[in-house]
Amino acid sequence: MHKPFIFKDVERKIQVTIQEKTTGLAVPYLNSRAIQTRLDDVLGATNWKNTYSPWQDNAQICGLSIYDTERKEWITKWDGAENTDIEPVKGGLSDSFKRTTCLWGIGRYLYEIGGVWVEVIQRGKSKVIRDDQYSKLYAEYNTAIEKILKTMTNRGSSLPAPTEPKAPDKPQKPTPKAPTNPKPVNQPTEPKTPILEKESEEVVNGIASIITTMKDGVPFFSETEKEEARQIIRVARMNDNGVAQLRNFKEFLSEQLHKRAA
């Protein structure tokens, strides 16, 4: 179940946008159908089941049970998610399911992959990734997978490589399951380490240095762009994934600075 997904099975969403909203941070995620297919392929359709329960009026709890053939019993893990802004209950059910499957190892490696800055366009009320940017995402994804596999090999762990990566497809909307009645279990949060705190501080300071760079008293970045950068820093989670995204953002800003200074 831990095996990485091929590129076309991993979707991307724009987390934040900058520069007059023509550039956005694309982050990877899995939809419910891809996860359900993985569970069916690995376990068999009759050897897993999920249940739901509302939680505190604005969230959903999901329990994913897998049948242990050796112990001859169902083993269940729980996680939850708040209802979403659009289609609140449906979104909460879908998100809680995806978070729970991560406890079983499905797609957990995606938390080690940072977002990628891409060009975006307006489509309806949303910002979407330009079609010509998917080749960039494809290359970045495969590079990240190779790095993760190499790191795990050095640690003495193993993670199967995805088979036959294919050309990218456009993402699809998730399909939630119907609710029933389980009991919730709280999950511990990941503590920050001194090394992570130091690294995040260095990245944030680097971003601040870039956006305040001037030539002959003239700044390279507008006040709007500076505020957008500060907002990205404020909302970033200071864990491995959040710091990786900030590091990518710093590299993007550095590229923009070199272009403007040329």
pLDDT band at 160 (very low <50, low <70, confident <90, very high): low
Q: H or E element: which one contains 6?
A: none
Residue 231 Cα distances to 10, 65, 208, 227, angstroms: 27, 39, 12, 6
Taking the domains of the chain in order of start, what are their residue ranges? 7-155, 194-261
Three-class SS state of 20: coil
Q: What per-residue confidence (pLDDT) applies to 9? A: 93
E strand intervals along the chain: 11-18, 23-29, 48-55, 59-68, 73-82, 116-123, 126-129, 214-215, 218-219
Burial class (CB in 10 A: 0-12, 13-18, 19+), 8: middle
Q: Quick: pLDDT tens for 207-255.
A: 888 989 988 888 888 888 788 788 788 777 767 767 777 877 788 788 7
| Averaged confidence pLDDT in the chain | 83
- DSSP secondary structure, 165-218, as one string: -----------PPPP--------PPPPPPHHHHHHHHHHHHHHHHHHT-EETTE
pLDDT tens for residues 19-71? 678 899 999 999 999 999 999 999 999 999 999 999 888 899 999 999 999 99
Q: Which of 146-150, 186-190, 235-239 has the highest mean pLDDT?
A: 146-150
Q: For 59-115, what is each residue's pLDDT tens digit?
A: 999 999 999 999 999 999 999 999 998 889 999 999 999 999 999 999 999 988 888
Domain 7-155 has CATH 3.30.1490: no
